Amino acid sequence: MSNPPKAAADANPASSNFLKGIIEADLASGKYANRTDSLAHPLPPVITRFPPEPNGYLHIGHAKAICLNFGLARDYQGRCHMRFDDTNPTKEEQEYVDTILDSVQWLGFNWNEDGPGGPAAHLYYASDYFDQFYAMAEYLISAGHAYVDSQSADDMAKNRGNFGEPGKNSPFRDRPAAESLDLFRRMKAGEFKDGEHIVRAKIDMASPNMNLRDPAIYRIRHAHHHRTGDAWCIYPMYDYAHPIEDAIENVSHSFCTLEFQDHRPFYDWVLERLAEGGFFKKPLPQQTEFARLNLTYAVTSKRKLLQMVQENIVDGWDDPRMPTIVGLRRRGYTPESIQLFCERIGVSKADSWIDMGTLEGALRDDLDAKAPRGVAVLRPLKLIIDNFPDDLTVECTAPVHPHFPERGHRTFPITKELWIEEEDFMEVPSKGYFRLFPGNKVRLRYGYVVECTGCDKDESGRVIAVHCSYFPDSKSGTEGSANYKVKGNIHWVSSSHALEAEVRMYDRLFADAMPDSGGKDFKQALNPHSKEVITAYLEQGMKHAMPDEKFQFERHGYFVADRVDSKAGKPVFNRVVTLKDSWGK
C-alpha cells in the first residue's frame, strides 16, 4: 500500500533534498501556476513522470526513481505520469510493459488521481505521439533546424570528432529544406533500407558538448512495434522524443539521473525550437538531474542482468538473488521496506555508493514488527529424551510475536524424539560453549530442562543422535521451573510432528562489493554460496503458511513462503535476510 499523503506544499514541508527545494521555489514564484490542458482544465503546479523504456525488468535503481517521482507528486498534491518510452521496437516487448506496471503498483503507487481504477488514468506511451513527433520533425526540417543526412554510419562517426577534436559538417548539412523534407517523407513511406538516411538536428558540429553535434532525431527501422505494429518504419530517437513527451503531457519537473546531464542542452533546444514554432507554450518542462543508485554487491546494468538470465546464471528475472523488483519481491522484500530504504538514502547531486547493508537494514526494521515468529531447525540432528515416555505428547506454548501479546500464542508438541541444530551439540565443548555436551544442562526453549548423557555415532564417527534426560518439573511457565538455572537455551521441533520443508538459503549474489567496476568481469565475482537448498524441519503450524507470508525463524532470520513454488500444505521457504548483518565480519 502507498504511504498516506503528506502535507501539501503550502504547509511548508521540510526540504529534505535539493529537488524539493527546486519545487518549492517554483511554487513560491508561481512558475507553473494557472496552467490549463488542451480542454481548458486546470493543471496542478507539480507534474512529474516515471518514463521507463519497456526493454527489461525494473531493478532497485528504478525503485528509487519511482519512489522519487511518485512521492514528490504526492507530497505536493500534484500527479505523476506513468509513461513508456517505447521508441525502439527491436528491444521492447509487451511482457516488459506488463511487469513494469505490476512493479510500480506493488511498490504502492498508481497513476490514477483517485486511486486504482479511478477516472483520471495518467498512463501514456511515447507511441501515442508518433504522429506528433513526425509533424514536429517536418517543422524542424522546414524551418532549417534539421536535415536528412545520407552519410554512412562509419562516415558519420568519423566526422563527429571527439572530445579533443571538433566534428566536421556533413556534406548533406546544407541540403535544401525541400529536398530533406521530400526524403523524410519517402523514409516514412518505406522507400529506403535501414541506415540509408537519418534525420539530424542542425546545431553545432564544433560544440564541446558531443550531444549538440547535430544529434540524430529520426532513423529508419523496419521493425514490428509491440503497439503500433507495422504502421511505422521510422522511429524517433529517445533524446528527441523525451522532451516532446514531457511538453505534450504538461510535465513541470522532469527528473533524470546524472547520465542525462549533458543531454539537457539538447532537451532545452528541442523545446525552444518547437515553442518558436507554436507547438508549445511557456513555461516549458524543466529537466533536473540527480545521482543514480549505485548499490554494492549488485549489478544493475540491464544488459548484464539479461545476460545472467540468458546464460542461466540465475533462475530467471525473479530469482530472489536478483536486484530486480520482481526478484526482491520474491525474495521477501516488502514495498514499505523499499520505500523506507529510498527515504533513508535520500537524493544527491553527486554519484556515491550505497552499501547493501542499508537496504537489508531497512528490510529488517520493517519485518521486525510485522513477522510472526516460528521455530525452524535448518541443520537437523536427532535428540532423544531417554526418560520421556514413548507415548507422551506435551503441548508447549510460545507467543506469536514477543512484543505484541495481543497477537496471541501458538502451540506445538514436545515428544521423546526431537530435531535440534547440529551446532547445538559438541562432544568436546570449546571454551564458552553452553549448549549440549555430556553432563551439561540446557533448556529446550518453551519446554523442559534436559541434561546431555551422550551420543550415537555412525561408522565414520559422525554424530547421528544425542541422548539426554529431562526434568519433569522444569517445563517453562510452570511452578518450579524457575528453580533450574542454566546458561544454554536451544531450539527444537518434534520429529514426529514437524513439517519437513524445502528451504532456500539465499545470500548476496556477488562476493565483491563492486563486481563490475573498473572493467572487471562481473561473472568472476559471483558468490558460489549465494544459494543453498536444504531440507529443514519446521514448527507444525508453518504447514499453513500462504505464499508471500513472512516469518521470523527464531535465531535464524526472516523467511518467506515462496510466491511461485509454495503449494497448499507444502510451502517452500526463502531466506529473506539474516537477523543481523554479518557480511564480511
- For the annotated catalytic residues, the residue numbers are 53, 292, 302
Round to whole Å and give the CA distance between 313 and 59.
17
Contact status, residue 331 vs residue 578, Cβ threshold 8 Å: no
DSSP state of 508: -
Tell me how far apart the terminal alpha carbons of the chain are, to the nearest angstrom: 35
Round to whole Å and give the CA distance between 263 and 182.
29
Please name the residue that has the C-alpha cell 521530400: 182
Round to whole Å and give the CA distance between 147 and 184.
9
DSSP per-residue codes, 461-506? S-EEEEEEEE-GGG-TTSTTGGG---SEEE--EETTTPEEEEEEEE
Q: Which residues pair with 536 in a beta bridge?
A: 501
Beta strands at 573-577 and 557-561: parallel, antiparallel or unpaired: antiparallel
**Alpha carbon of 173 to those of 145, 196, 270: distances in Å?**
10, 16, 18
Contact status, residue 471 vs residue 511, Cβ threshold 8 Å: no
Please name the residue that has the C-alpha cell 556534406: 171
Round to whole Å and give the CA distance between 22 and 25.
5
Of the candidates 217, 247, 197, the one whose C-alpha atom is nearest the C-alpha of residue 141 is: 217
**Alpha carbon of 444 to those of 10, 32, 420, 460, 493: distances in Å?**
59, 67, 9, 29, 10
Residue 347: which residues within 8 A CB-CB, separation 6 or more?
17, 18, 19, 68, 290, 291
| Phi, psi angles (nearest 5°) of residue 344 | -70, -40
DSSP per-residue codes, 103-116? HHHHTT--SBTTST
Residue type, 104: V
Round to whole Å and give the CA distance between 292 and 289.
9
Round to whole Å and give the CA distance between 143 and 197.
19
Of the candidates 16, 47, 20, the one whose C-alpha atom is nearest the C-alpha of residue 33 is: 47
DSSP per-residue codes, 293-342? PEETT----HHHHHHHHHTTSSSSTT-TTS-BHHHHHHHT--HHHHHHHH
Round to whole Å and give the CA distance between 518 and 520.
6
Round to whole Å and give the CA distance between 440 and 428.
11
The three cell numbers locating residue 90: 527491436
Of the candidates 288, 290, 284, the one whose C-alpha atom is nearest the C-alpha of residue 252 is: 284
